[in-house]
Structure 1
């Protein structure tokens, strides 16, 4: 039986001996751990360096744009009236701003309907077209009828009329349209409504009818007298004893003579603001007072008189009639007018809420979209119409609002239409057309028909309006509450009507903060580099990256870039950091002299950006800097253009007639800015409302209809339509380049040849040319320097109309831009730090594998040692047994 415990048989300390031997054999394991710890320490150090460099890059990223250094502060004196922001192109100064009106969208409302799901009309297919544009001429308000007959004698009693819940002051003296208009205008500040008196005109049949006079010759031979006055002016008189038709008698002819030419009568009438039309002899004589004052026509008679107004050969006992005018109300902001009071009819008005455009015309805006919806038996309900409009996406939204009325006869549901954009060009016009030669459904026309220049079946609740303002006394208009362009580089946001001053000044505080942030970020990075790669003579220890080439290269590169002057700057004297107060200290850190920086801000505010950001300036203002790449080199580059970018066009060959008729059910298929292979979303069908269009209207119709296609607008694809001096229509994609194209084909109805003739489509071309003599690639109006050249990645936008030499373009890379690019080369998935860290981690893994392999060998070594010493132990134990046996035998023999 073998020995189970080493050393028992031989008394040799096998375990102790093996343990000591293995301790010597495993000594290299500590070296592996030491190496791993060293490499892991470097990995951690590079992690700290990456974090510090990332923080440095984060600061630099905000300093690579010109706007970071050329910001201006805009401060309104009254922030409740307006706010403002200023771009770097703005000029410092103080401006006076008056906001007189805020932009708003138009809102229209229908009459009431009992339910939202009941059918409207018979379901006949009806196409409804929505177009947006501007209302011109006329006014929005209420046209009154002739004032009450009793007003000229008794006036308008107090409380008879209220407008927008404000009582209009009136009494027994309010006896004419002019006086009533004056009373209404006295309250216009409160009501928002003004009044205009229509001209007062005497009855058209007062002196005759059907072209024949009814004024009989005056006969005073019976002993009477006669006098005819108009507006208090005596125009004819006859003394007693004159027979009818006698010499010097009053007749239609004598009245006409008195009213013709420069006579005493005509002068007196003119002084009374009264004009004359027609003649008494023809029975058409009328008198007009333009200001709306009453006109009294009186016949004064004494004694026996025959003849006169409407009287031929019969007794005239005298007469008096007063012509009164009417008024019209105008809403200042296009909102409905509420009429009330105890006797609004006396003022020629009807109680209730109303208002419509009067004497106005509508002009479609070609820059706005136009769209159609089709209503038939499947969707001819309020809900169906609302859904169809909202799905259209052509600048109008629909909703249904209940007024809360109840009862069996209540009609609480109203369709509300609102323009999605504000501004005067957002006024709606809604036209309806039938299909297949049939008229539109009359019930739908009653619901939706709306033309500011015609029938208005919808009521306007708020008018489309622009923001109206003055800036330093100059009137400005904006379609939204944002006002741009009035002050170069400044955008004003109007909040309410009111006045404010606006101060625009250099934002020296932000610039100082940006420069100070750059200095601090550099110093923080420098301190981190010192901790990681420096040597402490006191403790005689070095940082974990002491002597590391990656760290040394990074530090040297940063210092080298900061010590080099900026090149490529045009028209500036600032080329290095010391000129704005930044300089190196003995310990390698940066310091900032604020007084020197403030001097630079005062004298060279716009040039400081060039020291930090990527800046591009061209001698040709139509060559603009778009962007640059990490491989773009600073320098001055000559620009040569061999081909300008063009737009895809469809040029008509027909001279458009005065009127072009578009038939009902006309649809065209439009393909805009399509690709190769074709993309389905780039083709759509448009519907053109039936009608007769002049060339300008036709261009507007096509432009707005195409731009109203949501698939096009979502892709940023739009067109312009123009009629040239040659009378031919041209459609052009607003995009430039080889991806710009437009094609149209007839689907149904009027053929496109009626508008474009044979038509000629031409796809757009990309800009072509060179930058600094190096090849460049064009895409639309953008020219990009080719890889491998100093202009690699430099993107320029080329506009204008000149080919050939376009001057020079200077490009410079400021310190922040250069260092940001440098940092990017060290960071990221392929950066130097990442590569270095990956290498160190791989080394640690290799060391771990070596350690595992060595540990595996130690197991074998220990097993060998144990086997050897176990064998020795067994051998010695055997010999000890033999010796013991022999001793016993020898002892036994000795006894014998």
Structure 2
């Protein structure tokens, strides 16, 4: 059996010998470990630099964009009334704003229904057309009936009438429509209701019927007297002893002579605000009072008299009649009016909630989409109608609201999605293919401010009305734009407040300070990994590294060169705003110098940092650039302006055009840039008779309401040209703009546009700085390979040829951001170096693993050799011991 523990038999330290031999053999492993540690230290150092460079790049984000230098602060003296925001076009200043009305959306509600899922009507196919527009003229409210004789004689008792829960102060003296209106207006601040007494007018048949005079000539020959008065004003009289038709007698012609002249009678009537129309001779004489006062017509007689009003040759015992008027109630905010009180009927009103547009007209807004919704047996419930309206997305949202009652609690409520007076709804209900609409659906939804109003208006569509520095302004939304250039005023509630606009110098100063600090932090990190410390006599892990040296040199070079392409700018270097290098390579910021630059050259600071393009032509705007775009001043020459696809009628459209029922056109819009499913729509044009402008509006709204076009963002605009022709055009510019109309049913396209054909749009064409450029709509972009590569400009206006120059500059922040991108990211220089070092570390690891495997073999060989030696020595030791014993025995 062999020796199990080396050295036992021979006393040879086999393990110790092998350990020392292996220590010598393993010496290269330590060298590899040292190399690996060195490379890993460089990886860590590059990671530190990458992190600092990334932080520095982050500090540039607010400085690379032009908008970061043009922000303005707005401050309201009362943010509960107004707030504001400003763009770079605004000018600092203070503005006084008074808000008298805040925009709101229109809300309509149906009557109550027992269930949301019960069918409405019989399911006949019915088309609902929803359009949005403006209501003009007339009023929203309630009109009373004429006041009765009881009011004329005894007035309106206290408490008889209340409006919106407020009692109207009436009494026995309230005997006319004017006095009732005055009493209502005295409480308008509380009720939100104003009143107007309508014109009082005597009957058209008072002095005749059908044009035949029934005023008989007065005969006082029997000893009587006669006089005619109107509201206490003596019109004419006849003394006793005058036969009918005699000299000085009263007849229709005599009355007309008095009322047609300029005399004390006509003057007294005018002073009483009483006007005269018609003639007694024709039987059409009427008296009117526009202020709503009662008109009393009296014939006073004594003795025997014949003739007079409605009397020819028969005895006249006297006549006395008082004509009253009606009162029109107007809701100041367009909501329903609640009429109550102990006896509102005496004021000609009915108790309950009511209100509707009266005498109004509706004009569709062509800029708002319009469309059709089909209601049939699949969706003729409140829920189905609600969902169909919401799915159509025509600027109206529908909901179902329960009032909590036990009988018919459910109401369909429609609300315009936008605020403003141009968001009033008109809902037209019609049948299909000549069939009538389902009457139940029509009874539910038909709503026309100028006609049938089956829905009740709960809130009116209102504009924001305000006064800005003494100038009245109007806005469809709560935001007021355009009143102050570059400033949006947001109206919160009625009231007055001041809005101040000032330069946001605080953010600019903070951003520049952050830029300086981030650079100094970056510089510190670079120095820590690349410099030599004479005290410790140690160098950084990246000392002498060419990548770090190049980065450091590039940063300093870009920050010390002047900025070119800043036409007209007084700032071209960082030193002009107080940023300068110190001896140790860090930056310092002179805040006083920066503030001076902000005060004197605020608009030029942006050019020092961001990519800026300034055009001498206000209709040419800088959009963007690329890294390859070179700074400089470039001449702009336009050879062709971008156009939109247009279709113009061959002749002027008539004053009135009728669109037949079931008129459907197929419209293709911008089909070359999108799929047919999106660019083609079947559009139903609402039937009706339209003026030229109304036709323009309805076509624009109907086409824009097609869901296909809503999804793709394609729209058209329509207008009436000065020559009366109708122009329809795609709002998209360029070669992708086209428009085709094809007749399907009803009124043909040719009936409106004649033989006209559409003209496709074209892209802008021209050069930038004499170099070629490509056009896309109104965008002109410098071609690759030129100094203007990637320079994108928006070309507007109507002039071709030379269009001035554009000065383009790439500021420090823009250039430094580009530099940082070259070093960072997946393909950046630092990333590449780090990857290379990590790959080297992996290779060293592989070498170490291979060498360690080799050491195992070496150790096994040494152990085998020394084990054999140990065995041999042990055997020799035994032999020596045996021989010694034998020799000792022989000696004995």
TM-score normalized by structure 1?
Answer: 0.96
Residue equivalent to 1:733:
730
Look up the match of 2:250: 250
Contact 1:450 / 1:457 at 8 angstroms: preserved in 2? yes
Secondary structure of 1:445 counterpart: helix
Q: Deviations over 1:748-775 (max 9, x none)?
A: 3333232333442333222222222223
- Tell me which of 761, 765, 770 is aligned to 1:768: 765
The answer to whether residue 83 in structure 2 is matched with residue 83 in structure 1 is yes
* Gap runs ≥5 in structure 1: none
In the alignment, what sits opposite 1:542? 539
- Aligned residue for 1:812, secondary structure, equals strand
Q: Is the 8 A contact 2:532 2:543 kept in 1?
A: yes
Q: Count residues with an aligned counterpart.
A: 892
Look up the match of 2:491: 494
Question: In the alignment, is residue 425 of structure 1 matched against residue 422 of structure 2?
Answer: yes
Contact 2:119 2:380 in 1 (8 A): yes
- Residue 889 of structure 1 and its aligned partner are, at CA, apart by 5.6
In the alignment, the residues of structure 1 paired with residue 497 and residue 342 of structure 2 have an alpha-carbon distance, to the nearest angstrom, of: 44
Q: Displacement of 1:379 after TM fit? A: 1.9
Secondary structure in 2 matching 1:575:
coil
Given that 1:216 and 1:312 are in contact with CA atoms closer than 8 Å, whether structure 2 keeps it comes out as yes
Q: What is the rounded CA distance, in whole Å, between the counterparts of 2:548 and 2:640 in structure 1?
A: 48
For residues 134-145 of structure 1, the aligned pairs below 5 Å read: 134-145=134-145
For 2:310 and 2:642, the matched residues in 1 are separated by 81
Describe the superposition over 1:656-676 as per-residue Cα deviations: whole angstroms up to 9, x where unpaired.
Answer: 344433332222222222346
8 Å contact kept, 2:296–2:321: yes
Match of 2:640 in 1: 643
Q: Deviation at 1:326?
A: 1.4
> After superposition, what is the alpha-carbon deviation per residue over 1:563-599, rounded to whole angstroms, capped at 9, x for unaligned?
1111111221111111111122222111111111111
- 1:593 — aligned with what? 590
What's the CA shift string for 1:589-644, capped at 9, x where partnerless? 11111111111111111111111111110111111111122222211122222332
Q: Does 1:394 align with 2:394?
A: yes
Distance 1:69 1:656 in 2: 51
- Say if 1:577 and 1:394 are closer, same or farther in 2 by CA, change over 3 A: same
Shift of the alpha carbon at 1:810? Answer: 0.8
1:466 aligns with 2:463: yes
Matches within 5 A, 1:556-575: 556-575=553-572
Tell me the residue number matched to 1:65: 65
Report the more deviating stretch, 391-400 or 645-654.
645-654
Q: Partner residue of 1:605?
A: 602
State the secondary structure of the residue aligned to 1:805: strand
Take 2:209 and 2:690, find their aligned partners in 1: how far apart are those partners?
Answer: 42
Residue 146 of structure 1: SS of its match in structure 2?
coil
Identify the range of structure 1 (415-424 vs 775-784) with the bigger mean alpha-carbon deviation: 775-784
* Alpha-carbon offset, residue 60 of structure 1: 0.6
Alignment of 1:374-385 (within 5 A): 374-385=374-385
Distance 1:749 1:300, change over 3 A: closer
Q: CA deviation at 1:360?
A: 1.0
Once the two structures are TM-superposed, the CA of residue 692 in structure 1 deviates from its matched residue by 2.8
CA distance in 2 between counterparts of 1:254 and 1:151 reads 34
The corresponding residue for 1:863 is 860
- Corresponding residue of 1:446: 443
1:216 maps to 2:208: no
Matches within 5 A, 1:260-409: 260-406=260-406
Q: Is residue 678–residue 711 contact of structure 2 (8 Å, CA) maintained in 1?
A: no
Equivalent residues in 2 for 1:729-878 (5 A)? 729-878=726-875
Output the CA distance in 2 between the equivalents of 1:286 and 1:660: 40
Residue 121 of structure 1 is matched in structure 2 by 121
Q: Which moved more, 1:831-840 or 1:59-68?
A: 59-68
Of 103-112 and 835-844, more deviation after overlay is shown by 103-112
CA distance in 2 between counterparts of 1:625 and 1:890 reads: 116
Contact 1:148 1:345 in 2 (8 A): no
Give the superposition deviation at 1:828: 0.3
1:710 to 707, 714, 722: 707
Distance 2:710 2:139 in 1: 34
- Please give the root-mean-square deviation of Cα atoms over the aligned residues, in Å: 1.9
Counterpart in the other structure of 1:508? 505
**C-alpha deviations, 1:124-149, integer Å up to 9, x for none?**
21111110000111111112221122
Q: What is the TM-score with the length of structure 2 in the denominator? A: 0.97
Within 2, Cα distance between the matches of 1:878 and 1:34?
45
Q: 1:891 Cα deviation (Å)?
A: 5.7
For residues 175-232 of structure 1, give each alpha carbon's deviation from its aligned partner in whole angstroms, at most 9, with x where no partner exists: 2111221221222222221111111111222222222222222222222221111122
1:711-755 Cα offsets, whole Å, 9 max, x none, are 322322111122334444332221122222222333333332323
Stretches of structure 2 lacking an aligned partner (at least 5 in a row): none
Deviation at 1:488, TM superposition (A): 0.8
Residues 49-84 of structure 1, C-alpha deviations (whole Å, 9 max, x = no match): 111111111111111112222222111111110111
2:480 to 462, 469, 483: 483
In 2: Cα distance, 1:796 partner to 1:717 partner = 23
**Is the 1:584–1:590 Cα contact (8 Å) retained in structure 2?**
yes
